[in-house]
Amino acid sequence: MQRKPWEVPFLAEPREVAGLRRVLQMHMDFWGLPEVIAAAQVCVSEMVTNVIRHVGDGTPATLAVSIQGTHVRLELRDPAPRALPTLLAPSEDAESGRGMLLVDELADRWGITLRPDAKVVWCELATTLTSPSGHTGGPRVTRSEALLTSYAARRPLSAETNSPLSVAVAEEVAIDMIADLLHWLRAHGCDPDEALDRAQTHYEAELDAAS
C-alpha cells in the first residue's frame, strides 16, 4: 500500500479538535493502522490545545501526517516560533499542564522545528509496519499477499495498490483463489462448507485475540 502524506489547514479552536480526530481515524483506518488511532488522536488533541492556550484561540495552523520509515509522523505547524511547548510536572490536582507530557509518553519521539516565521511541533508513533508501504497483518497476511501476487500473474495489480481499482482487482483475484481452493477440497473428498466454517471460526478467534 502506498501511504501518501497529507495535510489539512485549520483554525486552532476547541471546536476543531473533534473534526481533526475524525480525519485522523479515517486516514489511519485507510492506511491499515488502527492500532495508532487512539495515540494519534490524543497527541494531536494535546498539540492543538497547546497552540490555543499559548499562541491564541483561532490561530491558523496546519496538521500534516506522513509515514517516516515504519512510524506515523504528526506535524502541527503554527506561526509563532517563540511560543515553544515545554514539559511540565503539574501537581496531581492540576487541571492543565499535562499536554506535552502525554505526547512524551505516547510517542516514540517528539521535537520542535523552528522556521523564521513558524514552528512545527512533531511526534512519531511506532506501528507494526514491516516497511513504509508494507502491512501490519502478520504472517497470515504476508502469506496471502504472496499467494495473491503469484495467483494474479494473468491479471497484474496496479502499482497504485491503494487505488479503488487495484483493490477491486485484488478482491476478485482473492475470490477466484478461494473458489479454486473449494474445488480442490471437494475433489479430495472434503466438505467445502465445513472448511469455510472452520476458516471463519479461526479468523474470528484471531481477530478477538488481537483486539
The secondary element (H helix, E strand) that includes residue 76 is: strand 71-78
pLDDT tens digits, one per residue of 107-142: 999 999 999 899 999 999 999 887 887 776 566 566
Cβ atoms < 10 Å from Cβ of 94: 10
Q: What is the pLDDT of residues 149-165, one digit of tens each?
A: 666 555 554 444 455 55
The answer to whether residues 27 and 47 touch, using CB atoms and an 8 Å cutoff, is no
**The total number of residues written for the chain in this structure:** 211
Identify the three-state secondary structure at position 103. Answer: helix
- The pLDDT mean for the chain works out to 82
